[in-house]
Amino acid sequence: METNDIKVQEPVNLSRATPFEVLASLPVPLRNAQCVVHQQEILICGGYRTNDCYSYHIFKNKYKFICSYPNDVTLWGHCVVKLVKNNNPNDITLLSFGGYNKHTLVMKYVSVWDEEKDGNRDDIKNSKHCNGWIPLVGNSNEPICIGRNKDYHEGVRAVIGGCNNNLLFITYLLKNIDVFDLNTFQYIKNATLPSDNSIMYHCFINEMMLFCDKTGLLIKYNEDNNIFKFTNLRICTTLRLSASYGYICVNNCILFFGGNNDSENLASKEVYKYSIRDDTWMKFEQNLPNPLTDCVAILSGDGKDVHIIGGYDGKKTESTHMKTNVKEWMDGETETEKQWIMEEEEKRFIEEIKLDLDGMKEELDIKKLKVKCFLLFNNLDV
């Protein structure tokens, strides 16, 4: 066994009733980790004040050390995305940027598990810039920095999009969204998010949907005209003061795991599902085994399992790594879940009536109000 192999225990089911399976413990406790899936691997690229990077092999249930961030980099709410440069599935480049102390680095990754398949690691040894973080440079070898002096990037989130997958959409404090061209290394757009709260450690997915505290947004970007369009999305009442949750988009739904309540600063064990198609929420009867915030949720390469990595339980940083089958969260509702959905729909009706009343200052639309009341009271009688 090489020095970068890490021994681990066998997976353990917490109980017959839980859908979570405990996997090999992380090599180090991690919170606010950044992870990327690459074939059968989950690449763990550091976390809060933790510079070491590891590869977790999904089938082997083992970890291997990849590298560490440079000593002058302090990780605190950074972001890592996978760059799409060609059609070679074995070629992967990672971009790491942001955080409280901003950095902009890239790493070309070659699997640290290939030695077991090929019997050597000459491809890594002979590649000067593989499996190590180096500064991002432009076409003239000039250093590139993502994040201007005025930008505050702790808890930043980003996705890659655009017609040619060359646009980096960056969302960050206080209520900012930027568009950064990865071909020209230039900012091409900055806009203010229509939010009543600050945006950090939030949910931001490739479908350009954002959730944080009381704010839910569908974001559309017109690449030809360089214009954003924002549509408000409702967040269920019990999740409105939360952020720092693990989240993943799968089967046209977003799953939310844990998080923290800003008003009480408590870690949560609750699990929620948002249906993108139906614009509806559900709180699951089944919870996480323990309260957890600052965790990361990531989908396996085959799309069958959600891995939940690290986090903070309110007292200590966790080294726990769990997985749960996606199918467990796509079944029909229990009676408890149906009751929660009904109560949440009643709250939605009341909120809509209040909005209508607020909009009737100049012209009172009694007919519209009566329809809302009729629907509300009919729903209450069910």
Q: Using one digit for the tens of pLDDT, what is the confidence trace for 64-106? A: 999 999 999 999 999 999 996 666 667 799 999 999 999 999 9
Q: What is the pLDDT of residues 179-199, one digit of tens each?
A: 999 999 999 999 999 999 999
Q: Is the pLDDT confidence value at 288 over 50?
A: yes
Q: Based on C-alpha coordinates, what's the Rg of the chain?
A: 22
Q: What is the pLDDT of residues 26-51, one digit of tens each?
A: 999 999 999 999 999 999 999 999 99
Q: What is the pLDDT of residue 86?
A: 61
Q: What is the pLDDT of residues 335-353, one digit of tens each?
A: 999 999 999 999 999 998 8
pLDDT, mean of residues 215-233: 98
pTM score: 0.89
Q: Could you tell me what percent of the chain has a pLDDT over 70? A: 84
Where residue 360 falls among pLDDT bands split at 50, 70, 90?
confident
Q: What is the pLDDT of residues 245-269, one digit of tens each?
A: 999 999 999 999 999 976 667 899 9
Q: Mean pLDDT for the chain? A: 90
pLDDT, mean of residues 309-338: 97
Beta bridge partners of 107: 94
Q: Is the pLDDT confidence value at 361 over 70?
A: no
Give the strands of the sheet with 280-283, arranged side by side.
Answer: 246-250, 253-257, 271-275, 280-283
pLDDT, mean of residues 10-25: 77
The architecture that CATH gives domain 5-332 is: 6 Propeller (2.120)
Q: What is the pLDDT of residue 1?
A: 40
pLDDT, mean of residues 146-160: 96
Tell me the longest C-alpha to C-alpha distance in the chain: 78
Q: What is the pLDDT of residue 11?
A: 57
Q: What is the pLDDT of residues 50-66, one digit of tens each?
A: 999 999 999 999 999 99
Q: What is the pLDDT of residue 365?
A: 58
Q: What is the pLDDT of residue 356?
A: 79
